[in-house]
Amino acid sequence: MFRILPTVVALLLPLIANAADDFALKDGDTVVFLGDSITAARTYGEIIENYTLLRFPERRVNFFNAGWGGDTAAGGAARLEQDVFSRGATVVTVAFGTNDIGWGGLADEAHQQKYFDGIRSIVAQCRERNVRVFICSAAVTAADPDKSETAVLQTMCDRGMQIARELGGDAIDVQRGMREIQRRVIAENERLKKENKPTTMHAADGVHLNELGQLAMAFTILKGLGAPQDVSSATIDFEAAAVVETAGCQISDVEQTVDGALEFTRLDEGLPINFGLFGALNFRFVPFHSELNRYLLAVRSLPAGKYLLTVDDREVSKYSDSQLAKGVNISFATTNAWQPGGPWDAQSTSLRSLTEARSRLATSELMWNVNLNGSERRPKIADQVEAIDAQLQSLQRTVARPIPYRFRLSHVEP
């Protein structure tokens, strides 16, 4: 029976540990997303929240949204105490810029200088509070990506990111990262027939982001935070019914059944994130599956043929022996696009509902804080919201925690 040498295991495990250690969000962190209406839409923040909870279930990381429609860097600096520090923030991402220059209509030196001053104030205040701050360049607009590279929004944000670094903060160039995705969208549209509706990353105004644009922004920020590429990986030898190597998971109870199938139990340290019905269609533009969500399985020495992978009695996908020998990414695999694939897909879907519930709860409280601030009910509502939110966060962590899955790989007729 072939087994990987202990010395090889010792070499592999630090690589996985180092990849996880590079991720900027640590155990005990409270993360606040500070920004304008694109942040207030909550979508990219929810993706980052779900990714972190699934990938690092043992880390207690709390998330809060402090997006405000129409806001600028100066406005964000003015409400840091109220919306960021009062939450006990240890990490804040900052995304302003488009409103600072009035959607391009106020792109003069005075308005740019106000943006620079706002960024400088945000970083300085965060540094004083020992809050780790990431200044993000603004999201792309629907303008020509080649012309946007030297347009005022990019050059102004470049200076803002430089200021952040000079003051000891960090920076993430969201705009250039999203621009690469935007170019893929444009190339795809050029291949379409004229009567087809083109794909876009924006709402009709060309500034606010739709679902694809929000995914692109989340992807770019996660890359900037050092999010690891691999969830976990396992390689198994069929003939020996033995584990060859693993990273980020444990494999146990490997056996060949009497009907010639291969079965084993897999317990992961973290899980892949999924995006619901037809969510994988966006991966032709946003390479989330290959760069941030690789959940890998490889099986060697299989007899030639086609194999059905089932996990906890759920059909996941069919693969050839050659595909399995090379290794497959099963994170988004499903035999029915209308249903979740593996059980990890169901866990991710459940988590997404809970995260959306947190957002709706926060939005409900915001309506009272802004529009019904004088009501005698407000303190009671605030207390109940806090209690319910704590319960939701506890439930999120329960849902996201990995459980052992029983894998079965069986030969199927052509």
Domain boundaries, the chain: 1-21+228-414, 23-224
The pLDDT tens digits of the residues spanning 105-115 come to 999 999 999 99
Instruction: Quickly state the pLDDT bin for 4 (edges 50, 70, 90).
Output: very low
- Residue 214 structure tokens: 């929000």
The pLDDT tens digits of the residues spanning 129-175 come to 999 999 999 999 999 999 999 999 999 999 999 999 999 999 999 99
Q: Determine the Cα–Cα distance for residues 145 and 141; give it in Å rounded to an integer.
A: 9
The residue ranking higher by pLDDT, 364 or 251, is: 251
pLDDT in the model for residue 367: 80
For residues 342 and 349, the answer to whether their CB atoms sit within 8 Å is no
Mean pLDDT of the chain: 92
pLDDT in the model for residue 269: 98
Instruction: Quickly state the pLDDT bin for 306 (edges 50, 70, 90).
Output: very high
**Looking at this protein, which amino acid is placed at residue 180?**
E
Fold that domain 23-224 belongs to in CATH:
Rossmann fold (3.40.50)
Pairing, β 230-237 against β 242-247? antiparallel
The residue ranking higher by pLDDT, 414 or 183, is: 183
Q: Determine the Cα–Cα distance for residues 250 and 404; give it in Å rounded to an integer.
A: 9
Q: Residue 8: is its pLDDT beyond 70?
A: no
Cα separations in angstroms, 350 against 275, 303, 389: 11, 37, 16
Find, among 30, 39, 24, 28, the residue nearest to 87 by Cα: 30
Q: Determine the Cα–Cα distance for residues 85 and 139; give it in Å rounded to an integer.
A: 25
Query: What number is the average pLDDT over the span 182-203?
Result: 89
